[in-house]
Amino acid sequence: MDTSPERIFELLPKLPKSEKELISRACVFAEKAHRGQVRKSGEPYYNHVFATGYNLATLKMDSDTIAAGIMHDVLEDTDVTEEEMTAEFGGHITKLVQGVTKLGKLRYSGVERHVESLRKFFVAMADDIRVVVIKLCDRLHNIQTLQYVDAHKQQRIALETIELHARLADRLGMGRLKAELEDAAFPYVYPEEYKQTVELFKSLRPISDEQLEKVVGKLEEELSIFDVRIERIDSRIKHLYSLWHKLKRYKMDQSKIYDVIALRILVPSPSDCYQALGVIHGLYRPVPGRFKDYIAVPKPNGYRSLHTTIFSGDGTTLEIQIKTKDMHEEAEYGIASHLSYKEIGKANGNMTEQEIKRKIGWTKDLLEWQKDVEHHQEFMKNLRTDFFEKRVFVLTPKGDVIDLPEGSTPIDFAYAVHSKIGDHVAGAKINGKLVPIDTTLKNRDVIEIDVKDSAFPKRKWIEMARTTMAKRKIRQHIREHGGLIDKFLTR
């Protein structure tokens, strides 16, 4: 394995000389510290930490984070002290390495131990999200070399990767990293389903390369006629784990899968996206019900794009995604595309520090509710329900997006907006129609809550609510005001 810093520099051609020197020093420091240590594969341990730094570079992370990634195991696995690292690299980089070290080794053996490790994970995530990005890049290389791990450990590590690390990458909008983690873990967690999906994939390809080239040629010609600027047209093939997950959702009905192959059209601006969409629908007939506008209403993890599926004219269908270069980079790298602390707030389109905190505000919610969870089994169940299961995004009457777990009701929505609204729900409208307050919400529903001072939480609301936060707030209100409510009801 080539572990020269130049491999990283090739990924970051605009990196200043001083930052190249920093990364080079981190490589030398880590290689010396880990000298003599080997992995299960027999390779030098340094190969792993270098791969972590390389993975961070593919996400375009800043040089401090890459250096910390290369040295992320130095404090835990070698004799180097925090004082020595601080003297050589400063407090900021050392703090990042300490953050990774404090996470320890997450394990699924023993729920109690695992939950305490997760609590540490979430504290680190809320404190500095870069620590978690380093940990995800560390995990990616570990899962890609899982064949060298003892067989009885492989399934546990792979399951943890799918259920925790990939879900975190997804919540952070890091689509590329999420898919790589899932695909690498898939054959270890579900070996039979993996083999079945590989076989199905061969028969699911809906359009040939020749047909695809023909569609691309017609699109380029038509878009040019209408003066729609194109930066790039390429295609992407659906990842295996994602394909299996979708097939499972549709009870393995292959006819419901439209996006095994998708064309990506990158244009300069959001207005160009909509203009390109009009041209495409003028050229090809769209499949009814398959248009999604994730630009006007982004996904909860920040994903933005226009999606449409067309009949290509020869009996096949094809999904087309239309987005800007910035939208594409954020879909690939998610929060990592905004994390370079040297770039935050600059006029190059990156987020301000406040915007980043708002984007990962759910990590604060996660920390808040986990304080009240007493039983470890309950913690794991609520974690999957509230943060890592499939999400829906619904709208307030003003158009603000509220991100909730699938299966949520107007009660969950009300408490997500504000606890005072939740405590006084008298009724709800979905898309302008009165509905029961236990109605299941769907993507893009517009929710309006009728609030009255005389309304208050009932015990049956606990069963109607889906989110831990709403259930907790309902119980809290009943504990604090239950006596007054009972007197009021018996008058």
Residue of 76, 88, 326, 406 marked catalytic: 76
For residues 182-198, average pLDDT = 93
- Domains of the chain as residue ranges with CATH: 6-190 (1.10.3210.10), 205-334 (3.30.460.10), 390-490 (3.10.20.30)
Q: What pLDDT does residue 256 have?
A: 74
Q: What pLDDT does residue 474 have?
A: 92
Q: What pLDDT does residue 258 have?
A: 74
User: Is 5 a residue whose pLDDT tops 90?
Assistant: yes
In this predicted model, what pLDDT tens digit does every residue of 25-43 receive, in sequence order? 999 999 999 999 999 899 9
- 391 versus 176: the higher-pLDDT residue is 176
Q: What pLDDT does residue 179 have?
A: 93
In this predicted model, what pLDDT tens digit does every residue of 37-88 receive, in sequence order? 999 899 999 999 999 999 999 998 999 999 999 999 999 999 999 999 999 9
For residues 362-366, average pLDDT = 60
Is 2 designated active site?
no
User: Is 242 a residue whose pLDDT tops 60?
Assistant: yes
Report for 146-155, 186-195, 354-363: range of highest mean pLDDT? 186-195
User: Is 401 a residue whose pLDDT tops 90?
Assistant: no
Strands 261-267 and 317-324: parallel
User: Is 215 a residue whose pLDDT tops 60?
Assistant: yes
pLDDT-derived band at 194 (thresholds 50, 70, 90) equals: very high
Q: What pLDDT does residue 70 have?
A: 97
Tokens linked to 367? 């920390």
pLDDT-derived band at 343 (thresholds 50, 70, 90) equals: very low
Q: What pLDDT does residue 206 have?
A: 66
Is 76 designated active site?
yes
Residue of 31, 43, 77, 326 marked catalytic: 77
Q: What is the pTM (predicted TM-score) of this model?
A: 0.74
Q: What pLDDT does residue 117 have?
A: 57
User: Is 93 a residue whose pLDDT tops 90?
Assistant: yes
User: Is 147 a residue whose pLDDT tops 90?
Assistant: yes
